[in-house]
Amino acid sequence: MSHYISKKIPVITILFLIFLNSCSTVMIDKSLKYNKNKVIDDILAIDESYSDLESLLYVSIEDQNMYLLRKGTIYKAFKISSSYYGTGSEAGSLKTPLGKHEIYKKIGETLPINAILKGRVWNGAIANVITEEIDTEFDHVTSRILWLDGLEKGKNKGLGVDSRSRYIYIHGTAEEGLIGKPASDGCIRMYNSEVIELFDLVGEKDQVWIY
């Protein structure tokens, strides 16, 4: 009997470890699947000259994905979270504005991961990141900020619809468990580690298309 148990325990242990590993992978997995041809077709429908841009960020509201393109080729893809309230440019609407934008300013280059920025300033606070699908009463801006400026007058630039005046950012969030579904108060949210990565890959004046 003891011989039988000694032969079985390693197998059970291995299976248990595989189960734990698979569960943890699901919880922290940030990868995403997408149809590259469809993404390019969608961008082509917006502006055929997209490939002339050295660097372009394309945000798909429908897919809740953001793509970094280099000279027309998809270089990197990220899961994002746009506004819970839908899309729109009206001041005070808390909606995510559509259309062409550019990065007006990059903020937070030397900050630690999960640093909370209030009014684009860090006061030393670090966010407790929530990985479960929990919507809190806070909309913390964390880690990095890419502040957007609209490029289309009357749509996302100008009186009453101005993205820069509305403080529309790409930024990290404490509610990482909600990434992949609309949950923000207007901005584009990202995982903290990924917004830090993206921050170093783009520059001010790089264009951001939100559609």
Question: Looking at residues 13-33, what average pLDDT do you find?
Answer: 49
Residues 21 and 109 grouped into a single domain: no
Look at residue 74 in the predicted model and tell me its pLDDT: 98
Provide the CATH number for the domain around residue 200: 2.40.440.10
Give the number of residues written for the chain: 211
Residues 6+ apart with CB under 8 A from 107: 117, 120, 144, 145, 146, 147
Considering the domain architecture, whether residues 20 and 37 belong to the same structural domain is answered as no
Count of structural domains, the chain: 2
Range of the domain at 114: 32-210
170 and 126, same domain (yes or no): yes
Q: Do residues 22 and 95 both lie within one domain?
A: no
**57 and 160 co-located in one domain:** yes
Neighbouring residues of 39: CB distance < 8 A, sequence distance ≥ 6:
58, 60, 67, 74
| pLDDT for the residue 27 | 54
Lowest average pLDDT, out of 16-25, 30-39, 140-149, 172-181, goes to: 16-25
20 and 63 in a single domain? The answer is: no
Q: What is the DSSP string of 91-157?
A: TTS-PBPPEEEEEEEEE-TTPPTTEEEETTEEEEEE-----SS---S---EEEEEEEEEE-SBTTTB
Q: Are residues 79 and 173 in the same domain?
A: yes
Please check whether residues 15 and 37 belong to one and the same domain.
Answer: no
Q: Phi and psi for 209 in degrees, rounded to 5? A: -105, 125
| Same domain, residue pair 163 and 151 | yes
Distance of CA 33 to the CA centre of its chain: 15
> Do 148 and 173 reside in the same domain of the chain?
yes
pLDDT in tens, 157-199: 999 999 999 999 999 999 999 999 999 999 999 999 999 999 9
Residue 19 is predicted with a pLDDT of 39
Same domain, 58 and 101: yes
Q: Return the pLDDT at 31.
A: 73
| % of the chain at pLDDT higher than 70 | 86
Residues 199 and 104 in one domain: yes
Least confident among 18-27, 46-55, 182-191: 18-27
* pTM, 2 dp: 0.86
